[in-house]
Structure 1
């Protein structure tokens, strides 16, 4: 069983709570009094006995209907009595749930129709195929009646019943599925192992009101452990049961099930079991933190610490079995443990994620360990405690009556943090290296450490994403992120990773935190665009990086270069990136002091230096002219696509979208394109403003006026309403030009050698 504090606590709790009421061997703990009166006639009800531990304290065996249904399902000898004593099912709501009516056999159908169907369905394979067709047509009434009658005729209908159970759960109707489950057993058809898996897996996804999925799943799972059951729970069923508890947030039942698992053997926890438990711990932390108030910072701190500690206990069990060779480590389990550490209280727990990656993959730790003298809560992660970070350099404008700084929330003092750390269970060496020092990191192509046990897990984009997400939450996000990106994607390490779209987006977000617009351009030019990973979202993040780097004298050059790369890499410019560029121009316009040292305006002739006001006006006009020059190619593409008419989303089939040769994400919403074109016209209107007339030649001013006139139709009141709900697709000529441009960037495949072609001919 799991060596976990919660699992042990629950085992002790059950023994102590039931010992005051009845012996553990008694089968009648928690059984209603009216059943005790007829106990001599009923005999032993084993399924109730399996539910005796904690029945009175937890309350799910004391409910009359529930106890009767459990007894009815598991002991055929008491079926007639249980049916007679059971309250009739309330008819209210049946009309609103036709599937439940069918499950309760209250949807009549012609017996002649069923008899004619069964004439041709004497083979079980043919019958299952017929049931599948009826369920695809949502004719559950006929399908259920066929299976019922076939069961009465002693045919093998186990698979057909499974199809019906799966259908009900796909329709998110766990009530109907459970009714069919009981109906199947009452008709003498016992569920097979796959039926248990279907029910438990389906209940994990159920959101239907009026049914407790965890309680129902626990009943089904415990019925497999009864002596009369033909099947015993396998690891698959245990994982499915744990998944039900995790999805619905019942940690008590989860620890109860996990505590019964053996430490070794075929039924011991596997990597999926640990992954489910770790994910459940993380979800429980998030769920508890959401209900805390703004002034409950200390409670949130302790709740995070408690969850991380429990996950470390689980990881101790994982390491114990990993070292013994009885458990194979998987990437999903490592990511789940990292997710729990993300819920921690600061850079210390985030640094442990990097140690975890080093322990399981061999990737070196490229970050400095947080100093133990500093508070555990860092500035970037302090906001996750629902309290602002303390800044000694910031003036406090309000004080209380004693003259002490006043805030609206409770302060997390260093003394409280130190007391919490003293109470925390120590796991100082839990993330120390385990694999032999002679082993090298694992790759899909070369498993160099195959002779060593335990072995490293494979390294790929999942691990790169985990590292980048961790770096993004740390105080030195940019420094750590750049180090890992260079090491894992650029250096020849033997386990070099080809970053995917998600990894690129993560790295761009790190660069945005550090206001690294120049590095962002280099990443686009060196990796993202040449490798065909450019998408509108990436350019949107890149332009927002430029907006944060507004004080950089080269920010305009960097932004203009990104626009050119977007024109080259995308068939349609992204509206978010263009709006971000226009926001940058607006910010520079509102702060003329940035324009004095701004690079990218050198090619425009200065006409006046009489005073600072005149210089500022000239610089702003020059800025708008430079921005318009870089926006023209993108605006032309949008206008060309808009001229053919924005199409509704229903007029373009998914099949045609896949045949266009570009990502469907590049299709732009019509109303957003209208917004972009309207703002471009506002930019032109600033250039041709009467106050700037002396700064432009007549021919240049006339050209700008014509451009503004051409865009005037998108500024009308009805333009936004006209294109609302429509999508703007590129024209065929734009798609062809894009495909030719991409083909020119892709190197041709190598030619076959003469010897190879001769061998092929032979």
Structure 2
């Protein structure tokens, strides 16, 4: 009976009629008469677009919710609203008619993202995912969100594409892991939550149900996230899953990241390479030495594995890997580790040492400052037949030969592929020689690498390292020559740091009578090459002139800085053309204002010490007044910009007065009386005279005495009499009630 459709419908009506009340049986038996026709949605995945006044073309009034019988609710299909809404779905559907190829769709999505419309690009992928594979388009959206540091949005797209049967590929995981290592600034570490997400994504790739298995590029990307976060434990948890041989085994990039992570773990997490150690808020020098020595020893053990695979021909060593190991050795406080950098270069690049090793009795190291380390001596252990040490000892960087295979079927490499030295190697060697106080060795390496057969062209960082070495040796003449001649000959433009290091060499060579001429040469090069002069360099240059205590030299330096002062004033008034961040612009403005204050102080020194002729004092007074007024205006603008002006005005208000009263509340009666007496004395004429004379005494102790002159008594009428002697300047006398005559200080009136 149930095989016939009319019989089945008759049976269902009979059952439904017995279950429902009498007044609603006719509605249940004829549901098509009580159900309002609805529009069919375009997509089964996307929600239905909200109806507007133009969609409702039926004249039938809408049935209110209260008019619908409660007994009919179980018989009607449930209508659920999805959380995803596609805006302007009709227009996007028309666009997809012309994007039937996945390649064309991905190009259009990338163009849409370039116009900063990620929502539209995502809606296009949602509609197109029903008819075509669009994994490449989803990857572009994920990469866009990752570059914008919107990690949560990228992970939402990643989860959504899996729900839409668009399975992630190898590039999807690569973009996710690479995006988790991005930071807002290069000096900031990666957040720990990004490390947890990277480990979760990498672990999900290793599950049996994963369609994409992790390759070495995914492993390196996950390790890089841990390295930039200075999380050594997370890094080792991922490195433990790397196979020893075959696909997915470690390469040179893997070991480079591991060595950089070990180096970063020896420093604090607040700033990479700078700051406090991980395990102590304020570590001592001995604790720092022990922490760094442990990191160096761990890096040596990793280097043993690198050399073993290099000798067997499994991996190839590049300059980045050698530089990572060299930088790890340079953080140590032991001269043995610094000297191992030269052995490292000789081992991997076949460049002979330019100085005798530490073990040589002719090598003198008494002048090198270092911290005694108890764990520094590396013990010698057993060696293999090729003479290579299998422990992190001092001989771990000795010259090695190709490793002979254990089985005769395996072919051994005929020779080792040595690394070609580059700019990174030259800088590392210069830094090692600087730490060991061997400038001649650094010069020997410099001349060796820039000549045949290496023909290395130094970059700006190499010249900066050379300048640091010259600054330690107080070679101001060589520093000026390097900035004015060697850098232009190499076709390089010096940086701001170049001029600062060069001026540091001049400051250390202050006893040289010609040091001011060398500093002037450096300033002239900066004026020609930099559109905006560096205020810190100009401040150091002016301070160097003040140390000479020569009025003629100080005046010549002030006049020489006049064009640069006009450039700085223009920058403070109108800004700079170079694109800089708001924080950097504010820092530069503060440095410029600080330099102008130093310039005003230099003019005060000339005037107070009488280092300029009397005929030029008026001009210097005028220049000082102009600069002082400009500095006051700039300081006020900076305070208003940073919010300090509001805090100062708040201190002048009633609330500020109440706060100052609350601060006085905690003082004892004796302290409060002492403070009142001191303030009263500072307001008197004697206190003012004492401050002026004290200032002149500090500027030039014992050389300049305050000029005071007596004041003539008043006559009977109360007029002032003629002074006893002619004085330059005008002063007024404040007499006491008891008839005592005071002394007027002409310097204070100026």
Shorter-chain-normalised TM-score: which range?
Answer: 0.5 to 0.7
Q: Map of 1:325-474 to 2, 5 A cutoff?
A: 325-370=313-358, 380=369, 382=371, 416-417=374-375, 426-434=392-400, 453-472=415-434, 474=435
One of 474, 487, 498 as aligned partner of 2:457: 498
One of 87, 107, 110 as aligned partner of 1:132: 110
In the TM superposition, what is the alpha-carbon distance from 1:420 to its structure 2 partner?
Answer: 9.0
SS in 2 for 1:585: helix
Cα separation, partners in 2 of 1:114 and 1:229, compared to 1, 3 Å: same
SS in 2 for 1:262: coil
In 1, the alpha carbon distance for the partners of 2:198 and 2:607 equals 72
Q: Map of 1:105-124 to 2, 5 A cutoff?
A: 105-107=83-85, 109=87, 111-124=89-102
In the TM superposition, what is the alpha-carbon distance from 1:159 to its structure 2 partner?
Answer: 0.9
Q: Map of 1:15-26 to 2, 5 A cutoff?
A: none
One of 131, 143, 149 as aligned partner of 1:172: 149
Q: Residue 138 of structure 2 corresponds to which residue in structure 1?
A: 161
- Say if 1:573 and 1:638, in contact at 8 Å, map to a contact too: no
Pick the structure with greater CA Rg.
Answer: 2
Q: Map of 1:15-94 to 2, 5 A cutoff?
A: none
- Say if 2:231 and 2:261, in contact at 8 Å, map to a contact too: no
1:432-490 deviation digits (Å, cap 9, x = unpaired): 12479xxxxxxxxxxxxxx9832332222221122223333x2415454444344445x
One of 611, 626, 631 as aligned partner of 1:713: 626
Instruction: Determine whether 1:515 maps to 2:474.
Output: yes
Q: Residue 729 of structure 2 corresponds to which residue in structure 1?
A: none
- Say if 2:139 and 2:172, in contact at 8 Å, map to a contact too: yes
Cα separation, partners in 2 of 1:266 and 1:552, compared to 1, 3 Å: same
Q: Residue 173 of structure 2 corresponds to which residue in structure 1?
A: 196
Cα separation, partners in 2 of 1:293 and 1:146, compared to 1, 3 Å: closer
Q: Residue 239 of structure 1 corresponds to which residue in structure 2?
A: 220
1:488-537 deviation digits (Å, cap 9, x = unpaired): 45xx4432433222211121122222222233233335413444544443
- Say if 1:671 and 1:723, in contact at 8 Å, map to a contact too: no
Stretch deviating more after TM superposition (324-333 or 368-377): 368-377
Q: Residue 562 of structure 2 corresponds to which residue in structure 1?
A: 635
Cα separation, partners in 2 of 1:260 and 1:506, compared to 1, 3 Å: same
SS in 2 for 1:286: coil
In 2, the alpha carbon distance for the partners of 1:567 and 1:165 equals 46
Instruction: Determine whether 1:544 maps to 2:521.
Output: no
In 2, the alpha carbon distance for the partners of 1:213 and 1:140 equals 22
Q: Residue 617 of structure 1 corresponds to which residue in structure 2?
A: none
- Say if 2:105 and 2:137, in contact at 8 Å, map to a contact too: yes
Stretch deviating more after TM superposition (243-252 or 230-239): 243-252
In the TM superposition, what is the alpha-carbon distance from 1:646 to its structure 2 partner?
Answer: 4.2
Cα separation, partners in 2 of 1:581 and 1:177, compared to 1, 3 Å: closer
Stretch deviating more after TM superposition (673-682 or 426-435): 673-682
In the TM superposition, what is the alpha-carbon distance from 1:333 to its structure 2 partner?
Answer: 1.0
- Say if 1:174 and 1:206, in contact at 8 Å, map to a contact too: no
Q: Residue 291 of structure 1 corresponds to which residue in structure 2?
A: 279
In the TM superposition, what is the alpha-carbon distance from 1:280 to its structure 2 partner?
Answer: 1.4
In 2, the alpha carbon distance for the partners of 1:359 and 1:369 equals 14
In 1, the alpha carbon distance for the partners of 2:282 and 2:211 equals 53
Q: Residue 543 of structure 2 corresponds to which residue in structure 1?
A: 583
In the TM superposition, what is the alpha-carbon distance from 1:653 to its structure 2 partner?
Answer: 6.6
In the TM superposition, what is the alpha-carbon distance from 1:418 to its structure 2 partner?
Answer: 7.1
TM-score, normalised on structure 2? 0.61
In 2, the alpha carbon distance for the partners of 1:131 and 1:584 equals 59
- Say if 2:346 and 2:352, in contact at 8 Å, map to a contact too: yes
Give unpaired runs (5+ residues) of structure 1. Answer: 1-103, 383-411, 437-450, 590-622, 658-664, 727-762
- Say if 2:181 and 2:228, in contact at 8 Å, map to a contact too: yes
In 2, the alpha carbon distance for the partners of 1:291 and 1:127 equals 52
SS in 2 for 1:152: coil
Cα separation, partners in 2 of 1:666 and 1:469, compared to 1, 3 Å: farther
Q: Residue 322 of structure 1 corresponds to which residue in structure 2?
A: 310
Cα separation, partners in 2 of 1:128 and 1:481, compared to 1, 3 Å: same
- Say if 1:681 and 1:708, in contact at 8 Å, map to a contact too: no
In 2, the alpha carbon distance for the partners of 1:142 and 1:418 equals 61
Cα separation, partners in 2 of 1:432 and 1:250, compared to 1, 3 Å: same
Cα separation, partners in 2 of 1:365 and 1:720, compared to 1, 3 Å: farther
- Say if 1:235 and 1:268, in contact at 8 Å, map to a contact too: yes
- Say if 2:568 and 2:592, in contact at 8 Å, map to a contact too: no
In the TM superposition, what is the alpha-carbon distance from 1:275 to its structure 2 partner?
Answer: 1.0
1:302-356 deviation digits (Å, cap 9, x = unpaired): 4323222221122112112222223221111111111221232321111112221
- Say if 1:585 and 1:624, in contact at 8 Å, map to a contact too: no
Cα separation, partners in 2 of 1:675 and 1:225, compared to 1, 3 Å: closer
In 2, the alpha carbon distance for the partners of 1:131 and 1:245 equals 32
Q: Residue 122 of structure 2 corresponds to which residue in structure 1?
A: 144
In 2, the alpha carbon distance for the partners of 1:568 and 1:110 equals 57
Instruction: Determine whether 1:625 maps to 2:552.
Output: yes
Stretch deviating more after TM superposition (341-350 or 329-338): 341-350
1:561-588 deviation digits (Å, cap 9, x = unpaired): 4445555666665433332122123233
- Say if 1:274 and 1:333, in contact at 8 Å, map to a contact too: yes
TM-score, normalised on structure 1? 0.60
Q: Residue 213 of structure 1 corresponds to which residue in structure 2?
A: 194
In 2, the alpha carbon distance for the partners of 1:681 and 1:722 equals 17
- Say if 1:517 and 1:555, in contact at 8 Å, map to a contact too: yes
Stretch deviating more after TM superposition (418-427 or 166-175): 418-427
SS in 2 for 1:430: helix
Give unpaired runs (5+ residues) of structure 2. Answer: 1-81, 270-276, 382-389, 403-412, 641-750
In 2, the alpha carbon distance for the partners of 1:493 and 1:214 equals 46
In the TM superposition, what is the alpha-carbon distance from 1:368 to its structure 2 partner?
Answer: 4.6
1:701-736 deviation digits (Å, cap 9, x = unpaired): 42464355345311215343488699xxxxxxxxxx
In the TM superposition, what is the alpha-carbon distance from 1:178 to its structure 2 partner?
Answer: 2.7
In 2, the alpha carbon distance for the partners of 1:294 and 1:210 equals 23
1:579-604 deviation digits (Å, cap 9, x = unpaired): 21221232333xxxxxxxxxxxxxxx
One of 241, 250, 254 as aligned partner of 1:273: 254
Higher RCO (C-alpha under 8 Å, 6+ residues apart): 1
In 1, the alpha carbon distance for the partners of 2:294 and 2:199 equals 27
In 2, the alpha carbon distance for the partners of 1:678 and 1:214 equals 47
Q: Residue 643 of structure 2 corresponds to which residue in structure 1?
A: none
In 2, the alpha carbon distance for the partners of 1:290 and 1:372 equals 37
- Say if 1:346 and 1:378, in contact at 8 Å, map to a contact too: no
Q: Residue 476 of structure 1 corresponds to which residue in structure 2?
A: 437
Q: Residue 648 of structure 1 corresponds to which residue in structure 2?
A: 575
Q: Residue 205 of structure 2 corresponds to which residue in structure 1?
A: 224
SS in 2 for 1:282: helix
SS in 1 for 2:397: coil
Cα separation, partners in 2 of 1:235 and 1:580, compared to 1, 3 Å: same
In 1, the alpha carbon distance for the partners of 2:399 and 2:369 equals 28
